[in-house]
Structure 1
């Protein structure tokens, strides 16, 4: 635990000193929210106010936009010899990976808090009860935990920082091909089916239902199942790759 806290402090300092990571994970989702609500929002037909519809989707996008920074940080440790230095020190190897996951989750939490604050200023008015908010927080933490472990694995398998940045692009783009911005049923044939069966759509709908005070049990159970599966794959893949390369 002591090693993990030390590594967490190190990773967080690196994030603060990286303006690109701060912009991508905290500021850029806010820019997207402003752009979609005030520029494109009137063109979309959604139930209720558009800001109420898109905010849950943008919460998930905050998580996806922070993934590239995690992959780059992990890959940088592997390719620049930092791990080799840690190997000759009395440091738990598991602390290196877990610290990257926790720092990614903290960065996501800050970005989501900023996004929700701006959304409230724009007129976002969720009908969620206290228990619904707790469920939203728990689901967001689970999503962040799962995607962070998968991103750590992707950062470990990448051969260079450049490839680490590119390898996360599909994860960053997936929310755009989900129900985050518009309902999946309004999409064209092919895209609609892809949006309905990919993991981010049930995640969006689960968060959206909870914030609206109308929990969608099917979407919530499906979202949890996706998150648990992604977390297990990312965790096992990360440990296996780390043991081979470290």
Structure 2
């Protein structure tokens, strides 16, 4: 068994021993989706049932909350000296961080499945065929992997677990100034440029088009380019920060 798989198992076992954190990561995105659908959905005109519009954004919001716990766990390991002990066993930085990222992806896939199940229960009806579902799942996996590596880098950058949690605020905030919850053309004009060109908007538009079997244009390719770029930068940054923190 490789060190990365072993350490991923360790991270998952730690998650199991922290039910309050796990329940929050699983239930908070579901609660936010229900709040948007039932509290605000009737006042927002999206041209379709609001639950149909909001599900892709809820999935990405879910991934952001899940990634935040990755940053905290990496920072906690640095603080507790766990990484120093692993380094003394000749375990490299890549397997250590890959273990955290693998566990993060697994947790996020579970929470995303929960969000989708609740969405189906309250009226979401995807129209995609098998290829559409496969493409949507692949894009979601790419996005979750990208932000999990970014969260690992933020965990190394932070001086404490509390600071790591604060650093991940941007990942949890980004779905709001996008097309996740309201059409961009309903936002103030000065916000359109950012909302149209930030990384989450093409991911959301791609997921929406793929799940509803609508034309996606070039949005999936733009989304994949963002995911690949974020992953590459985050992995390189993680390697550099790990080397600096473990000298």
Same fold? TM cut 0.5? yes
1:215 & 1:56 partners in 2: Cα distance? 16
- Length-normalised TM-score, structure 1: 0.97
Q: Secondary structure at the match of 1:175?
A: coil
Matched, 1:82 2:98: no
Q: 1:239: which partner in 2?
A: 239
Give the C-alpha shift of residue 171 in structure 1. Answer: 1.2
Q: 1:15: which partner in 2?
A: 15
Give the C-alpha shift of residue 21 in structure 1. Answer: 2.7
1:117 & 1:78 partners in 2: Cα distance? 36
Give the C-alpha shift of residue 91 in structure 1. Answer: 2.9
Q: 2:57: which partner in 1?
A: 57
Deviations 1:165-193 (A, max 9, x none): 10010111011111110111111122222
Counterpart contact for 2:93–2:239, Cα < 8 Å:
no
Q: Secondary structure at the match of 1:68?
A: helix
Q: 2:69: which partner in 1?
A: 69
Q: Could you list the runs of 4 or more consecutive aligned residues of structure 1 that deviate by over 6 angstroms after TM superposition?
A: none
Q: 1:27: which partner in 2?
A: 27
Number of residue pairs the alignment of both structures matches: 246
Q: 1:209: which partner in 2?
A: 209
Q: 2:146: which partner in 1?
A: 146
Give the C-alpha shift of residue 90 in structure 1. Answer: 4.2
1:90 & 1:174 partners in 2: Cα distance? 38
Query: What RMSD over aligned residues (CA atoms) do the two structures have, in Å?
Result: 1.2
Q: 2:172: which partner in 1?
A: 172
Counterpart contact for 1:186–1:192, Cα < 8 Å:
no
Give the C-alpha shift of residue 20 in structure 1. Answer: 4.0
Q: Superposed, which structure 2 residues align to 1:192-203 within 5 Å?
A: 192-203=192-203
Matched, 1:162 2:162: yes
2:15 & 2:209 partners in 1: Cα distance? 32
Q: Secondary structure at the match of 1:28?
A: helix
- Length-normalised TM-score, structure 2: 0.96
Counterpart contact for 1:105–1:148, Cα < 8 Å:
yes
Counterpart contact for 1:24–1:66, Cα < 8 Å:
no
2:236 & 2:189 partners in 1: Cα distance? 36
